[in-house]
């Protein structure tokens, strides 16, 4: 296993790139959400992540747990709908798991991602195939773990996770939603990408780019 680490600055770069991606794709995410949801996922995520970057710039964190607890609480309090609590829980669990460190090794990052995924499961009760963000996140976290176990470095593991997240996102298109607002549409929810899975793919794309 590679002995490299991810610095606090690199983790902030991940959040910054994720903010850029959801902001650039705000209209696209909202368009996806207008087909099967409340038509607010893009605007909610862009607003929430903008608030995150403002908070983290105003009060720079000295430890990883501090950073991600701030991120999580900001999203929970500033984003409406389901995405705020779900993403907020992901980042809160991520931060709580790592503790007061200033960098993460591959095992630490893997554990934090796995804990974040666990938080989403605990809050949303989603399973694979329900047409939610879990369909992108679960394969991504599994791929990250598998890459690290096989001896890949952090950049390769993150790239593998991003590829798996994108495939998971694409796999939501034919699914009939079983959770959330989209589930009210029944069979009419098929034929559309899930907005949460799409923003989750951006989250892992951003991680891969930050660690490249």
Residues in the chain predicted with pLDDT less than 70, given as ranges, are 1-3, 183-184
pLDDT for 124 equals: 84
pLDDT for 154 equals: 96
Which H or E element spans position 124?
helix 106-124
Q: Which fold has domain 5-211?
A: 1.25.40
pLDDT for 178 equals: 77
Degrees, nearest 5: CA angle 158-123-63: 50
Q: Give the Cα separation of 105 and 110 in Å (integer).
A: 9
Residues 208, 156 contacting (CB under 8 angstroms): no
pLDDT for 184 equals: 66
Nearest to 6 by CA among 163, 155, 162, 159: 155
Domain ranges for the chain: 5-211
Output DSSP code: residue 155.
H
By CB atoms closer than 10 A (0-12, 13-18, 19+), residue 142 is middle
pLDDT for 167 equals: 98
Q: Give the Cα separation of 202 and 29 in Å (integer).
A: 11
């Amino acid at each position: 296993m590679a002995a490299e680490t991810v610095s606090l600055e690199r983790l902030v770069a991940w959040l910054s790139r994720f903010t850029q991606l959801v902001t650039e794709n705000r209209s696209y995410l909202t368009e996806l959400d207008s087909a099967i949801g409340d038509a607010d996922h893009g605007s909610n995520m862009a607003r929430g992540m903008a608030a995150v970057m403002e908070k983290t710039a105003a009060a720079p964190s000295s430890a990883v747990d501090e950073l991600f607890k701030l991120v999580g609480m900001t999203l929970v309090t500033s984003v409406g709908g389901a995405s705020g609590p779900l993403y907020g829980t992901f980042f809160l669990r991520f931060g709580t798991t790592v503790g007061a460190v200033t960098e993460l090794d591959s095992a630490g990052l893997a554990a934090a991602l796995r804990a974040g995924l666990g938080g989403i499961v605990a809050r949303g009760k989603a399973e694979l195939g329900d047409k939610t963000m879990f369909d992108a996140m679960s394969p991504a976290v599994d791929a990250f773990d598998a890459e690290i176990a096989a001896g890949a470095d952090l950049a390769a593991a993150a790239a593998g996770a991003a590829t798996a997240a994108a495939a998971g996102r694409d796999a939501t298109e034919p699914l009939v939603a079983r959770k959330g607002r989209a589930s009210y549409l029944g069979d009419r929810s098929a034929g559309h990408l899930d907005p949460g899975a799409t923003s989750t793919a951006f989250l892992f794309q951003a991680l891969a780019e930050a660690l490249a």
